[in-house]
Amino acid sequence: MSKVAEKYGIDLTHDHKTGCPGCIRKGNDSSRNNLQVYGGTESAHCFACGWTIASKEHREAMGWDEEEEYDEEEELVSTKDKLTDSEITQFKGYTSEEGGGVRGISDATYKHYAVRTKYNPTTGEADTQYYPYFEDGSLAGLKLRKLPKTFSSIGRVSSNSELFGYFRYKKSTARTICIFSGEIDAMSGRDMLVEYAKNKGSDFEETPCVSPATGEGSSTKQLKAHYEWFDRADKIIYFADQDDAGQAAIEKVVKALPHDKVYIATLPAKDVNELLMKGRQKDFINAFFKAKKFVPKGIVGSGDIYDKIVEEAMTPRLEFPPFMAPLNDLTGGGQALGTCTAISASTGVAKSTICNEMVYYWLFNSPHKIGVVSMEQNAGQYGELMLSRHTGRKIGRMKPEEKLEFLRSDWCKEKSQELFFTEDGDHRWHVLDERDESTEGLQEKILELIIACGCKVVCVDTLSDIFDSMDVPEQQKFTKWIKSVINKYGVLILLICHLRKAASGQKDGSKGAMADESSVQGSSTIVKSVALNIMLARNKLSDDPIERNTTIVALTKNRSGSETSNEVCKIYYDSSTHTLHDLQAWQEANPHQY
């Protein structure tokens, strides 16, 4: 049997008509009947394109040993040299102007950009697309897209090439130019703009739609080479992909263009072609007309500020527990994610107890997972404190035998299940149990709590212990790192801080005096960086048991609500149940105890 016939599945045993591989390769012969097969001589011929399988007798008479030479022309191979006229003719021989509807793009647009397509002669389906790139007006190279998405090139395609599509628009006088991230998006955009103009009955000149040959991140040189052409327009709309890479490239791309004319389109999909494929032409046209003038990163135009206000209003907040309820009123509903709060007090004033009670409250009254970085307790010790709170029993005061008996009781196990696991069996919160001595190691572990464990709230108790081994510049660097983490991951970080000892002759926070922010241990960048600064004071040596167990709460910095107070509330610690209460509420409920 003929090798060529076997390759393309052509039956040479009887007279009939079938699909012609030569025509199909060029996107033709949709009816699959161009090839006439002659069964008597086991040969075939297409009268449309001349593709032939010669009979054995004819091959012998002509001295042809290899019938494969009648098969398709050999394709061009990759080279850095500009395409020659003969190579261009050869390339056109095995490709077609018909785009075959690939990626939803019309044949008219494929022809407009001189894109050609090679079809699989066996299946008849589009196999490879060829995007032309010009130099000085003549075809220099072809960028190949082996469907669905494998790229290569033949001839010369580089940052020195003209933009894709430029050869159609270089004499355009249109006042708007659109730049897309790739050829497919440029053609998709052109398709939708042409359709829109047609539906509106517009006879205005077509809007140029072009794209660089290289990726968004490395297209600057090619765009700069067309600066004068871009500068003719009044408006340059850039349609970047909506993924991270596309958005990151915007600043680079804009630097290569007339800055004052650049507008950025925001797409409600990953890219322009997705909108075309899903029939969302209206969404694309809306993005075209609503493109906003470029504003450098980090700067917000006033026209965008209202949206930012709405976005800020929607930022989730964590309410303070009931024993600190007045803070919710002053802060507009509690602490917002994407911010940092500092709680500062002298040694022994109960700042860790208050922090733990806040964590306990959030475990059951917040949708966010909590991560705890305790510099003073390991996971077992911290867990014991939380279990004491949950069971209302001070486990730490129990003797070893009594403690084990309590922990092994069915009731305690049931309470432990409630505390340590969610209803679906997931961990309710996470504790950093292994603390690397290096700053870098600790930072890595905190990031693991946030990224790997999904913690949206991280409590660091105490920051002062971390700062003990750092000089001031290192402390400032660590504080800056905390701010970057907050901004990048949108988490709330709660910092517990020690206060410096009061000067000689002065009363400190452990004797009931409220210190000021300058007393916080460590670099001043701590207080400057936080959104809320909460100060605590308690006279822990008072003879009065009520006063001795009451902590005064001051709010000395309130970035969102502005209002501050030297005495927001008073917190009473009930040592018998290891529980915190609003002092006034506790006194009203327990009038017999004071």
Q: Per-block average pLDDT, block size 10, for the chain (594 residues)?
A: 78 89 79 86 81 75 51 55 87 88 95 93 87 93 89 86 95 95 96 95 93 76 93 95 84 89 94 96 96 78 74 80 93 91 88 90 93 90 92 89 94 95 92 79 92 94 86 92 93 91 61 80 87 91 90 91 89 82 88 72
Indicate which CATH number applies to the domain containing 97: 3.40.1360.10
Q: What is the pLDDT of residue 64?
A: 56
53 and 109 together in one domain: no
pLDDT, tens digit, 9 for 90 and up, residues 445-498: 999 999 999 999 999 988 888 888 889 999 999 999 999 999 999 999 999 998
Q: Output the six-digit token pair for 199.
A: 């539906």
Burial (Cβ within 10 Å: 0-12, 13-18, ≥19) of residue 564 = middle
Closest CA to 535 of 560, 513, 502: 513
252 and 398 together in one domain: no
Is residue 185 within 8 A of residue 105, CB to CB? The reply is no
What phi and psi values does residue 568 have, to the nearest 5 degrees?
-75, -45
Contacts 24+ apart (CB under 8 A), 92-98: 92/116, 94/25, 94/26, 94/118, 95/25, 95/26, 95/130, 96/25, 96/26, 96/27, 96/28, 97/27, 98/26, 98/27, 98/28
Q: What is the pLDDT of residue 68?
A: 43
CA dist., res. 6 & res. 365, Å (int): 71
353 and 226 together in one domain: no
Q: What is the pLDDT of residue 521?
A: 86
Helix/strand/coil for 5: helix
What phi and psi values does residue 457 have, to the nearest 5 degrees?
-130, 130
367 and 425 together in one domain: yes
343 and 452 together in one domain: yes
User: Is residue 569, in this structure, part of any structural domain at all?
Assistant: yes
Is residue 141 within 8 A of residue 125, CB to CB? The reply is no
176 and 258 together in one domain: yes
- CA 209 to centroid of chain Cα atoms: 27
Q: What is the pLDDT of residue 303?
A: 73
Find the angle CA(106)-CA(111)-CA(117) to the nearest 5 degrees: 85
User: Is residue 520, in this structure, part of any structural domain at all?
Assistant: yes
Strand pairing category for 550-558 and 492-498: unpaired
User: Is residue 372, in this structure, part of any structural domain at all?
Assistant: yes
Domain boundary among 70, 95, 115: 70
Q: What is the pLDDT of residue 73?
A: 46
- Other Cβ atoms closer than 10 A to 196: 17
User: Is residue 317, in this structure, part of any structural domain at all?
Assistant: no
Residue 463 host element (H or E)? helix 463-467
**Any idea which residue has 């409590």 for tokens?**
459
Is residue 462 within 8 A of residue 497, CB to CB? The reply is yes
DSSP 93-133: HT-BS--TTGGG--HHHHHHTT-EEEE-TTT--EEEEEEEE
User: Is residue 327, in this structure, part of any structural domain at all?
Assistant: no
**Count of domains for the chain:** 3
Domain boundary among 249, 277, 302: 302
Q: What is the pLDDT of residue 158?
A: 85
Indicate which CATH number applies to the domain containing 478: 3.40.50.300
63 and 128 together in one domain: no
295 and 419 together in one domain: no
Query: HSE on the CB side for 88, CA within 13 Å?
Result: 16
463 and 382 together in one domain: yes
Q: What is the DSSP letter of 562?
A: -
Strand order in the sheet with 116-119: 116-119, 126-135, 138-146, 150-155
User: Is residue 319, in this structure, part of any structural domain at all?
Assistant: no
User: Is residue 79, in this structure, part of any structural domain at all?
Assistant: no
CA dist., res. 43 & res. 127, Å (int): 27
Domain boundary among 36, 70, 104: 70
64 and 40 together in one domain: yes
170 and 65 together in one domain: no
Q: Which domain holds residue 42?
A: 3-70
Burial 15-53 (b: 16+ CB within 10 A, else e): eeebbbbbbbbbbbbeeeebbebeeeebbbebeebebbb
pTM comes to: 0.55
User: Is residue 192, in this structure, part of any structural domain at all?
Assistant: yes
Closest CA to 180 of 242, 244, 238: 238
Q: Output the six-digit token pair for 400.
A: 């070893």
**What are the residue ranges of helices labelled H in 280-350?**
281-289, 302-313, 326-331
Taken in order 534, 535, 541, 542, the sign of the CA dihedral is negative
274 and 345 together in one domain: no
